[in-house]
Amino acid sequence: MLLRWQARAGVRLALVQTLIVVLAFGLAGYLVQISLRQISQASIRTHVAGEVASLDDEFEQKGAHHLPYTVAKRSRLWRGFEYRLISANGALLAGKLPGSPALGWSRLSSDGPGGGRRHYLTYTKLMPDGARLTVGQDLAVEAGEMAAIDRSLVMCGVLGVMFCVGASYLFARGTWRRIAAVVATAQAVAQGRLTVRVDGHPGPPRDDIDELSSAFNEMLDRIGLLMAQVRQVSTDIAHDLRTPLTRFNQKLERLRSAAGVDPAMLRAIGGLEDDVSEILRTFDALLQLSEIEAADRGAQNKIADLAEVAARVGEAYRPDIEDSGRSLIIDVRPALVNGDGDLLAQGLANLLENALRHTHKGAQVQLTVNALPEGAELCVQDDGPGIAPEQRQRALRPFVRLEPSRSSGGSGLGLAIVAAVAARHAARLSLEDAAPGLRIGLCFPAVASGQTPEKLALIS
């Protein structure tokens, strides 16, 4: 299963990093802007105070009557300041600044000549003759400078974020790939391929991911060893039990020849032979089960037609089902699946035997195969007693027989074999109430792309 990209730990980390970088740049920019504004205001104040001091000096040197001329001249020549000189009785002597600000520092706004408001920082001084001199500087210049500074700050921020994202991508990309390799290996193992290993860095681990990979590989080695031991044990049991059973069988055959036509003796020998074959059936079923479970699923690139398998197995069982007083309905439509036809036949045979064994006389068994958009479905349904919902999972376990007497024959491995076949084909196995009866469904995934019926024709 593939995660959405937002859910990957690396992407989340990068997103969080980016957010932190953006916030840090924003805060730094804000602080820089505040201090720059303070510096800029302080410098405006210095300039304005200097101009006021210069006019004060004019007043001292040339007298009160000369000041309006000086102010008017400076206003005309425009040295970057605006002025307002008001006489002690309130008449405007020179300058263009509006309003009548209080003494000391203040801010003024006015409608400029071309429209639009202009803002000034002004200083007003009371001259010795009672006149009020106001000198102000237009803040538009300062605002323009601040805007330019803001633009640079934003540019720096964007570049910084891009740099951070790029760096973390370059750094994390390798990590993501290595984690993805571990995930892919784990998925392959989950599908039964125990031989795969994570491609690791040779030698001592460089970092925690190397450590993870090598620990993961060690774990797989250990699992492989245990599985091999289990297989070895079952092979050994097979050998050690089959050899004495062979001798047992041979002795029975000798007895049978010696018994001649004595009917009691022949019956007894027949009973013994049935017992041996029952032991062997359970034994075979157990070996089949461990074989299906242990098989390496990596090599599974065969295609089987579920309908062909179902028709073949169904027709093979039809005489037994019909002779036992039950009926069989086979309704199959072509449906290709990725899988092993032999194993599918084995699984289906177990389903039919199960239906044959656990239904009453007169029961109806239905075998259907349908092609669905999401894959193919094989279904065996009967109208027998069914299985209680709480018992259904348990019924799939080896040696579990639901009737307490264990009297209905069979090894108790049939449905476990079906479950193993389903797992090997990544098929979903469902046990449902058919009201009345049991409906066992196997939903196979759609055939992997690239394998078309034409290719199938070539293979067969």
Q: Which residues bind other proteins (CB under 8 A)?
A: 235, 238-239, 242-243, 245-250, 253-254, 256-257, 261, 276, 280-281, 284-285, 287-288, 291, 312-313, 315-317, 319-320, 323, 341-342, 345-346, 349-350, 353, 356, 410-411, 414
Task: Tell me whether residue 97 is exposed, middle or buried, using C-beta atoms within 10 angstroms of its C-beta: 0 to 12, 13 to 18, 19 or more.
Answer: buried
Nearer to other proteins, 36 or 245 (CB): 245
**CB of residue 418 to other proteins, shortest distance in Å:** 13
**CB of residue 417 to other proteins, shortest distance in Å:** 9
**CB of residue 200 to other proteins, shortest distance in Å:** 30
CB 298 within 8 A of CB 195: yes
- The span from the CA of 344 to the CA of 90, in Å, is 110
Q: Where are the alpha helices (DSSP H) in 260-332?
A: 263-294, 306-323
**CB of residue 366 to other proteins, shortest distance in Å:** 18
Nearer to other proteins, 10 or 410 (CB): 410
Cβ of 273: how many Cβ atoms within 10 Å?
15
Nearer to other proteins, 72 or 287 (CB): 287
Query: In which element (H, E) is residue 368 found?
Result: strand 364-372
**CB of residue 401 to other proteins, shortest distance in Å:** 14
- The span from the CA of 270 to the CA of 262, in Å, is 12
Nearer to other proteins, 57 or 236 (CB): 236
From the list 365, 355, 357, the residue with the least C-alpha distance to 409 is 357
Cβ of 381: how many Cβ atoms within 10 Å?
19
448 φψ region: left (φ > 0), alpha (ψ -120 to 50), beta (else): beta
* Max intra-chain CA distance, the chain: 159
Nearer to other proteins, 336 or 413 (CB): 413
Nearer to other proteins, 52 or 289 (CB): 289
**CB of residue 454 to other proteins, shortest distance in Å:** 23
**Phi/psi at 73 (nearest 5 deg)?**
-65, -45
